[in-house]
A = this chain, B = another copy of it.
Amino acid sequence: MNLKPLGDRVVIKVKEEQEKTASGIVLPGSAKEKPQEAKVIAVGSGELIDGKKVELEVKAGDNVIYSKYSGTEVKVEGEEYLIVRQSDILAIVE
């Protein structure tokens, strides 16, 4: 199964949270920081601006930083994804 996001939407896969801190201590769930990094899985056909389609800046495979709490969680074949608008993506990590 494949997700094809609409318009300026982007399907991202949130990166696994680090289970250990820099000092090697294993953190219980609630103490972990909410991750902000994700990988782009699929991108929409573009943003519609004044009747013109404008291609998105991000593309599948990009590592991105996104606004915490934005987007809608979806579960496809047991895997969890987040569908966000491109405007919720702050930067590409290179």
Residues of A at the B interface (CB closer than 8 Å) are 1-7, 9, 11, 22, 36, 42, 45, 47-52, 54, 57-58, 65, 67-68, 72, 74, 76, 78, 83, 86-87, 89-94
Contacts and interface: CB of A to CB of B under 8 A. Distances in A.
Given A72-B67, A83-B65, A3 B54 contact: no
- Mostly helix, strand, loop or mixed at chain A's interface? strand
A54 B58 contact: no
B74 A36 contact: yes
Contacts of A7: 57, 87
Given A57-B45, A83-B65, A93 B1 contact: yes
Contacts of A51: 49-50, 52, 54
